[in-house]
Homo-oligomer: A and B are copies of this chain.
């Protein structure tokens, strides 16, 4: 492991949630008030919100923010870039000295989402089998998987999809120190044919 990857275990996500409603600010504030963010570093500016910390908490918090907005039935989009081991990264703004038990795990909101994700293992390596294995695991949980331009399309329950994405990310970064994954999600879309909680 070279010096530039010394911070690789600090994961992060730069994300945005977009409730498509006139009172989008209220949806976001209400969601944030319900999510436990004590195990991540979090900062919001006018473009994105950044969370940093252990992989499991980064996924736990981003999923919880999405779910607390989606449960209101507003049409909401989520876009996140999950990253780990960036050579330009530094060791600050991280909450690594925390336990792994999740702060928002009890969330029993069932929410259908359609999503697209792309995985970018930077620096090469044999990662395709890792991706295929995790996609098969998602399929076994009932997630619908289809190819799309520049991404893989996933449809199903939010918990199943985020669990699968976390596993893909975790296993890939174990092989390729600098790994980036982009995830775009649409919930409660008027063009969705199916919605598990309707």
Chain A residues close to B by CB (< 8 Å):
12, 14, 16, 18-22, 24-25, 45-48, 50, 52, 75, 77, 79, 81, 83, 86, 89, 93, 114-116, 118, 120, 122-124, 148-151, 153, 180, 182, 184-186, 189-192
Q: Which residues of B contact A182 (CB under 8 A)?
A: 81, 182
- B180 in contact with A120 (CB, 8 Å): yes
Partner of A186, one of B12, B47, B124, B186: B47
Partner of A47, one of B47, B115, B124, B180: B115
Q: List 25 A-B contacts (CB under 8 A).
A: A14-B116, A14-B151, A16-B77, A16-B79, A18-B20, A18-B77, A20-B21, A20-B22, A21-B21, A24-B75, A45-B191, A46-B114, A46-B186, A46-B189, A46-B191, A47-B115, A48-B148, A79-B79, A79-B184, A86-B150, A89-B149, A89-B150, A123-B124, A124-B124, A182-B182
- Chain B residue, CB-CB nearest to A18: B18
Chain B: minimal CB distance from A43 (Å): 8
Q: Which residues of B contact A190 (CB under 8 A)?
A: 25
- B186 in contact with A149 (CB, 8 Å): no
With A14-B149, A47-B186, A118-B81 as known contacts, state yes or no: A22 contacts B25, CB within 8 Å: no
Q: Which residues of B contact A149 (CB under 8 A)?
A: 12, 14, 50, 52, 89, 93
Chain B: minimal CB distance from A26 (Å): 11
Q: Which residues of B contact A192 (CB under 8 A)?
A: 46
- Which of A48, A50, A124, A180 is the most central at the interface, judged by chain B CB atoms within 10 Å of its CB? A48
